[in-house]
Amino acid sequence: MSHNRSNNAERLEQLRTRVKIDRDGVNSISSSDFPFHSSNVYPEFDSIEIFRKKLKIKVIKKSQFEMEFDLIGVDAAIANALRRVMIAEVPTMAIEKVYIYDNTSIIQDEVLAHRLGLIPIKVDPDLFYFKHENERPTDMNTIVFKINHECRYNPRAREDESDPKQLYIGHNLLSSSLIWDPKGEQAERFTDNPIKPVHDDILIAQMRPGQRMELEAHCEKGIGKEHAKWSPVATATYRLMPEIIVKEEITGDLADKFAACFSKGVIDVVEKEINDEMVKTAKVVNPRLDTVSREVLRHKEFDNKVELTRIRDHFIYTVESTGILESERIFIDAIHIMQTKCSRLLLALENKLKELEDERNMMSLDDV
């Protein structure tokens, strides 16, 4: 009896947490209308305590501007909400207004302003306020950059020179030409970490002798929901963890063919003792590298020997920063923003319930 219960519980867990990959399609996809439920099983929602035990975050690799981590124990709705917050709601500083005094290059003013806005600015956005529409710029809501650049002939160039790098001086206008102009107390506040573009070699315009550019650019705080230039991420993606279930040992030459059906590093062919004889055997070593191409399902010799699934509540996240904020900081800021959103929602629900209760009490008094 207990054995049957155990099998039923295991089967139920498989239905809830696995997306089955078939030869011609995908089955058991979770419903977007019912988070934490599969399309064919609707158990009661687990308690918060159980949810906390299941929730795990594992950092797989991390550098300053790129991070890969596993988010385990949540529904796709929450995973996607986190991704969207990282892309669209984590604030940064970006060039918003450009005052052009002189531009004789071939780049039109509006195109120039757009290109400048996309240059990532290395500064902590938490040290600035959002600037409202009718608010005057101050040292707490605006950063000012200036460009005063001119292209001219190189007097030391050879007469037969054809390389623009040798023939002209300043023919490439780069992001390094954006010179920070501190306002108010900014010079003191950022003495140890001067404000500048993340990269100095971003090409803004190519110029020729006689062409010049003079402008003033104002950075303001914003979010990617308003414009992509404020998004702190270059990419923020996730995918479900692949799972390869070998139901029957695959040996001999079939082991090599089996390994060739997957991405490199997913399957290893090892020597295993079977019936007092060393035999080549296929072994799953790193399923996270699998691209789920379903190549193995096209070969009849592997029918009923392998099952491909994806773990529905195990997400492999990749976050690549534009360089404004570190990848880890983007993830943490996104969590804080989601917490704030949840708190506001709960407060709004409490206020609505209170209003309904007050209306009910007033109706009771009228009846009396």
pLDDT in tens, 22-64: 888 887 776 555 555 544 444 445 567 777 888 899 999 999 8
> Are 295 and 313 a contacting pair, CB within 8 Å?
no
Q: How far is CA 144 from the centre of its chain?
A: 29
Angle at 60 between CA 59 and CA 62, to 5 degrees: 75
Q: Sorting pLDDT into bands at 50, 70 and 90, what band is 7?
A: low
Terminal C-alpha separation, the chain: 59
For residue 361, give the CATH number of its domain: 3.30.1360.10
Residue 238 maps to a domain: yes
Using the predicted structure, report yes or no on whether residue 3 has a pLDDT greater than 80. no
Give the residue with greater pLDDT, 234 vs 8.
234
- 137 and 205 both lie in a single domain: yes
DSSP for 292-344, written as a single string: ---GGGG-GGGTTTEEEEEEEEEEEEEEEE-SSS-HHHHHHHHHHHHHHHHHH
Instruction: Encode pLDDT of 205-262 as tens digits.
Output: 999 999 999 999 999 999 999 999 999 999 999 999 999 999 988 888 899 999 999 9
Helix, strand, coil shares, percent, the chain, to 5: 35, 30, 35
- 122 and 213 both lie in a single domain: yes
Instruction: Return d(Cα 259, Cα 57) in angstroms, integer.
Output: 30
Using the predicted structure, report yes or no on whether residue 113 has a pLDDT greater than 90. yes
- 152 and 209 both lie in a single domain: yes
3-class SS at 203?
strand
Q: Sorting pLDDT into bands at 50, 70 and 90, what band is 162?
A: confident
Q: How many domains does the chain have?
A: 2
Residue 83 maps to a domain: yes
Instruction: Return d(Cα 352, Cα 99) in angstroms, integer.
Output: 47
Residue 289 maps to a domain: no
- 97 and 172 both lie in a single domain: yes
Instruction: Return d(Cα 277, Cα 275) in angstroms, integer.
Output: 5
- 197 and 212 both lie in a single domain: yes
- 346 and 358 both lie in a single domain: yes
Question: Which of 183, 199, 230 is at the close of a domain?
Answer: 230
Please state the rounded mean pLDDT for residues 279-304: 91
- 171 and 237 both lie in a single domain: no
Residue 287 maps to a domain: no
Percent of the chain with pLDDT over 90: 67
Question: Which of 230, 257, 286 is at the close of a domain?
Answer: 230
For residue 181, give the CATH number of its domain: 2.170.120.12
DSSP for 204-261, written as a single string: EEE--TT-EEEEEEEEEEE-TTT-GGG-SEEEEEEEEEEEEEESS--BTHHHHHHHHT
Percent of the chain with pLDDT over 70: 90
Please state the rounded mean pLDDT for residues 177-205: 94
- Distances in Å between the alpha carbon of 139 and those of 16, 129, 142, 182, 307? 53, 10, 6, 8, 61
Instruction: Return d(Cα 340, Cα 346) in angstroms, integer.
Output: 10
Residue 111 maps to a domain: yes
pLDDT at 33: 55
- 55 and 77 both lie in a single domain: yes
- 139 and 203 both lie in a single domain: yes
- 116 and 57 both lie in a single domain: no
Beta carbons within 8 Å of 279's beta carbon, 6+ residues apart? 251, 252, 271, 272, 273
Q: Sorting pLDDT into bands at 50, 70 and 90, what band is 120?
A: very high
Q: What is the domain range of residue 19?
A: 7-90+232-247+305-367
Residue 123's Cβ-count burial label (10 Å; 0-12, 13-18, 19+) is buried
pLDDT at 165: 86
Residue 298 maps to a domain: no
Residue 33 maps to a domain: yes
- 226 and 97 both lie in a single domain: yes
Residue 273 maps to a domain: no
- 225 and 96 both lie in a single domain: yes
Question: Which of 172, 196, 230 is at the close of a domain?
Answer: 230
- Distances in Å between the alpha carbon of 34 and those of 41, 63, 307? 10, 36, 26
